[in-house]
Amino acid sequence: MTVDAEYVLPLRWADDAGLAELVEYLTGLRELVDVTVVDGSPPDLFSAHARALPAGVRHLPVEPRPGRNGKVAGVMSGIHAARHERVVIADDDVRYDEGALRAVVGMLDSADLVRPQNVFVPAPGTHAGTPGAAS
């Protein structure tokens, strides 16, 4: 591990269509940062995830919490279980490369919260190669 932070991934899947790609991503990520997957998937998928996730990725169930938002419960469970002061809360469709992860964690040295912004290339409503052009 080279980044002093916890990467928390709340997960609640109804199927495993993206599992192989997620496992590949987390296999590389675990070399950079401590990774915790908080899994609120049904029991059969939870067990499949436990078998599939790479060594070094911590896999936890969601803590019982009041409220109806399972994603929030997963996030809070991950924050409570974090082994580091700096925590990156991710989503299952977000991928950080090393530079982006280091940048976000670095910003946490001077901020309580960093909210990254998605950037789509090309931007919606533009023609490829023509910045700002309407489609």
Instruction: Please tell me the predicted confidence (pLDDT) of residue 130.
Output: 52
Distance CA 126, CA 35 (A): 36
**pLDDT tens for each residue of 39-71:** 999 999 999 999 999 999 999 999 987 777 778
pTM: 0.85
Best-predicted range by mean pLDDT (63-67, 76-80, 122-126): 76-80
Provide DSSP, 38-103. EE-S-HHHHHHHHHHSPTTEEEEEPPP-SSS-HHHHHHHHHHHH-SSSSEEE--TT----HHHHHH
Rounded to an integer, the average pLDDT of 108-126 is: 83
Instruction: Please tell me the predicted confidence (pLDDT) of residue 124.
Output: 77
Does residue 34 register a pLDDT over 90? yes
Instruction: Please tell me the predicted confidence (pLDDT) of residue 131.
Output: 53
Residue 35's H or E segment, with its range, is: strand 34-39
Rounded to an integer, the average pLDDT of 83-107 is: 94
Instruction: Please tell me the predicted confidence (pLDDT) of residue 135.
Output: 45
Rounded to an integer, the average pLDDT of 86-101 is: 93
Instruction: Please tell me the predicted confidence (pLDDT) of residue 119.
Output: 75
Dihedral sign, CA of 120, 126, 127, 130? negative
In terms of Cα–Cα distance, which of 9, 67, 3, 73 is closest to 35?
9
What lies within 8 Å, CB to CB, of 59 at 6+ separation is 36, 37, 39, 49, 50, 53
